[in-house]
A and B are shown apart, each in its own frame.
Chain A
Amino acid sequence: MSAKKKNICTIIALIALGVFLVIVEQTTTESSMMRSVLQLSAIYALAAVSMNLLNGFTGLFSLGHAGFMAIGAYVFAIITIPVSKKGNVYYLYGVNDILANVELQPVLALIIAGVVAAALAALIGAPVLRLKSDYFAIATLGFAEIVRIVVASSPLNTITNGSLGLKSIPGFGSFYFPFIVVVVCIAIIILLINSTYGRAFKAIREDEIAAEAMGINLASHKQMSFITSSFFAGISGALMAMYLGAITSTTFPITLTYNILLIVVIGGMGSVTGSIVAAFLVTFAKEWWLRFLDQEMIIGTFQVPFLRTGFRMVVFSIILMLVVLFWRKGLMGQKEFSWDGLVRTLKKIGGIFTGKNRKPSASEGGGASE
């Protein structure tokens, strides 16, 4: 396929996605499943890509993502709750004087949410990034827990409303809002990954000592990756707050980090397109397609075994385990989506059905496009 043809294909695909969104917007109602799951998937896609920047591209295994999302969400909520509704939200503790008249535009607030998350990342990054792999993971996990406890603690009652959480957070307004924000953010991340900094990140992932020998400043690059990742995690947290409309500290448990990690692993550590595809697949499966697993089902007089509340999540965790154990590369491995790869995969799949080309390579199965 020539470069020109590929560009045309890409443009057509993007237009098709855009048209798809417009169709969804036109044909579905405000409360439809399709809409909300699409929006949630987009938010998870941003969270997953920002985690992938750190875990997949820089090789720093962080488990603090939920913490940064919580910061983003809280900052966003605190500065955007309409002044008229503040009395209602902070009915128990009263609102802090400084915040009483603060009500910012959502876009500005999103950026501030990201900046605050990034600032905290910069603050803890300096000491924490000195740690090696699993110690780093556990330290960031600890940090996320600290964030969760602190935002719900009583000294911050007039700011975060303590354990009651915040509500009346303004929604998206337009259906397209989260998609635009997510696309812009992911585009920035892709530009960063394709820049010299991105190549330095990958070098650090492959071999820290070799990277250092090539003149890469480990400390500053790790710091940069950590701060950028946290910035976008903060924005995705803020989007989550807009999506949910109400947040408490329990909205961002460790399990949220695990959920995002699951998306990153299924999509492939070190593949942006993999994370995006996996975010949509996983979220759709979890929130919609596999819902039936949670309901008891009776066909005729036969009660289908196992189906009851909670089974969906068990199935999910088993899928994660299978991916981790047997399909370690995930959907994409470290590769990105390309039209050549898609054509090759389609041919391979076609070969399986028509019985042609049945070489040992067909046993690879899966849709690992390059």
Chain B
Amino acid sequence: MTTSIFLQYCLAGISIGSIYALIAIGYTMVYGILRLINFAHGDIFMMAAYFMIFAMVDHMIPWQISMVLMILATIALGVVIEKVAYKPLRTAPRMSIMISAIGVSYLLQNLATYLFSALPKQYPSIPVLNQTIWLGDVSTSIATFITPIITIAFVILLMLLIRYTKVGMAMRAVSKDFETARLMGIKINTVISVTFAIGCFLAAVGSMLYFTPRPSVFPLAGSLPGLKCFVAAVFGGIGSIPGAVLGGFVIGLSETFIKAAGYSEFSDVFTFILLIAVLMVKPTGLFGEKLMEKV
């Protein structure tokens, strides 16, 4: 393997890893606050891709406007899902709310099949993102190159938001202790909605960057990336944003190199073995906080 090929793989791995990181943040934030694995997150990511197709291909809206519309629609979808499917179950046992999340995921997949048909659709190409550029002797598309930059920018913004704004403080309080935060006068429902909105915003951006270099979108396209991103979130320690980012990069890079080594069949197996291994050795992940079991 020459240096330039190695660099090429590194770049591809970092690029896909940063998309995983964007989605993993959505999982980790929701889990931090609601203690819920949002099984529907991967499908929200898939729906975002269909929104883009709907706007750009079916209605010929220019990509800049389509992108904004797509992001708004995705955020609306996520917030509505939270209000309809998760909010009524806030006091229910955790199993019920998890089943509800699975139900939403099932519904979104079937809805996508119904609305957009099960046949793969081509993702519209955004000319700016598809240009090829040369970095030294490594060629790559703009999408691959700017993905990590966008991701890191958003992560820094998000960290600042969580550390220095009032909403961010409320989020931290809610994830620490739901009941006490409520007693302190924090409007829980607003905080949860904001969390879902941020998660869905990042999923929408991730979706655009993920599908641009890939050929097609189909209704189940979100479920496997969704699971991988959940693994990334668990790896980094669920509830921790830097952890999710690190997890995303680790999974993206290792996946790319496993594929490069000729074992592409097993790249997903590796991801799930990593999950089980992490859960065995350090269930709280790399940066996760230790949770005490209350009797």
Question: Which residues of A line the B interface, CB within 8 A?
Answer: 55, 59, 61, 63, 124, 127-128, 130-135, 137-139, 141-143, 145-146, 149-150, 152-154, 209, 253-255, 258, 261-262, 265, 269, 308-311, 313-314, 316-318, 320-321, 324-325, 328
Q: How far is the CA of A255 from the CA of B230 in the complex (A)?
A: 18
Give me 30 A-to-B residue pairs in the complex whose CB atoms sit less than 8 angstroms apart, sorted by A's number: A55-B95, A59-B95, A61-B98, A127-B280, A128-B279, A131-B279, A133-B98, A134-B36, A134-B94, A134-B98, A135-B234, A135-B279, A135-B283, A138-B227, A142-B276, A145-B268, A145-B272, A146-B268, A154-B265, A209-B295, A265-B99, A309-B114, A310-B110, A313-B110, A313-B113, A317-B106, A317-B110, A321-B107, A324-B89, A325-B89
B104-133 toward A: CB 8 Å interface, digit per residue (1/0)? 111101110110011000000000000000
The answer, yes or no, to whether B1 is at the interface (CB within 8 Å) is no
B183 beta carbon closer than 8 Å to chain A:
no
CB distance from A137 to the nearest CB of B (A): 7
- B93 CB to closest chain A CB (Å) equals 9
Complex partner residue of B100 from A55, A133, A135, A321, CB under 8 angstroms: A321
B114 touches A142 (CB 8 A): no
- Closest approach, in angstroms, between the C-beta of A214 and any C-beta of chain B? 15
Q: How far is the CA of A124 from the CA of B272 in the complex (A)?
A: 13
Residues of B within 8 A of A133 (CB): 94-95, 98
Is B279 in contact with A139, judged by CB distance below 8 angstroms?
A: yes
Chain B residue at smallest Cβ distance from A326:
B88
Q: Which 10 A-B pairs have the closest CB atoms?
A: A310-B114, A142-B272, A317-B107, A313-B110, A310-B113, A153-B265, A317-B106, A321-B103, A324-B100, A320-B103
Q: Which residue of A lies closest to B263 (CB)?
A: A153
B7 vs chain A, min Cβ distance (A): 29
Alpha-carbon distance A149/B113, docked complex (angstroms): 24
Contact A131 B283 (CB under 8 A): yes
Closest to A306 in B: B114
Q: Which of B214-238 contact A (CB under 8 A)?
A: 220, 223-224, 227, 230-231, 234
Contacts of B276 in A (CB 8 A): 124, 127-128, 139, 142-143
Q: Are A328 and B92 in contact (CB under 8 A)?
A: yes
Contact partners of A328 in chain B: CB under 8 A? 92, 96
What CA separation (Å) do A135 and B220 show in the bound complex? 23
Is A258 within 8 A of B266, CB to CB? no
Chain B: number of interface residues, binned into ranges: 35 or more
Interchain CB contact (< 8 A) of B98 among A137, A143, A254: A137
* B109 lies within 8 A of A255 (CB): yes
Min CB–CB distance A206 → chain B (angstroms): 11
Asked if B275 is at the interface (CB within 8 A of a chain A CB), the reply is yes
Interface-centre pick from A63, A269, A324 (highest chain B CB count, 10 A):
A324
Contact pick for B104, options A63, A142, A321, CB 8 Å: A321
Q: List residues of chain B with CB within 8 A of the CB of A135.
A: 234, 279, 283
**Given known A-B contacts A142-B227, A321-B85, A324-B96, A314 and B275 have beta carbons under 8 A apart:** no
Contact B265 A318 (CB under 8 A): no
Contact partner of B227 (CB less than 8 A), chosen from A141, A152, A309, is A141
**Do B268 and A149 touch across chains, with their CB atoms under 8 A apart?**
yes
- Indicate if the CB atoms of B114 and A146 lie closer than 8 Å: no
Q: How far is the CB of B278 from chain A (nearest CB, A)?
A: 10
The smallest C-beta distance from B27 to any residue of chain A, in angstroms, reads 10
A209 to B109, CA, bound (A): 38
In Å, the complex CA distance between A258 and B101 comes to: 11
- Residues of B near A124 (CB, < 8 A) are 276
Q: How far is the CA of A33 from the CA of B10 in the complex (A)?
A: 55
Complex interface: chain B residues within 8 A of A311 (CB): 114
Residue pair A143, B272 in contact (C-beta under 8 Å): yes
- Contacts A146-B272, A153-B265 given; indicate if A254 touches B96 (C-beta within 8 A): no
Question: B98 contacts A316, CB within 8 Å?
Answer: no
**A128 and B279 alpha carbons, distance in the complex (Å):** 8
B68 at the interface (CB under 8 A from A): no
Q: Does B273 contact A (CB under 8 A)?
A: yes
Name which residue of chain B comes closest to A315, CB basis: B110
In angstroms, Cα B105 to Cα A198, docked, is 32
How close is A108's CB to chain B, nearest CB, in angstroms?
31
Residues of B with C-beta under 8 A to A262: 103, 106
Contacting pair B99 A316 (CB below 8 A): no
Report the minimum CB–CB distance from B250 to chain A (whole Å). 16
Q: Give the contacting residue for B234; candidates A138, A321, A324; CB below 8 A.
A: A138
Decide if A324 touches B99 in the complex (CB within 8 Å): yes
Chain B residues closer than 8 Å to A308, beta-carbon distance: 114
A310 to B117, CA, bound (A): 8
Contact of A61 among B95, B104, B105, B110 (CB under 8 A): B95
A139 near B96: Cβ-Cβ < 8 Å? no
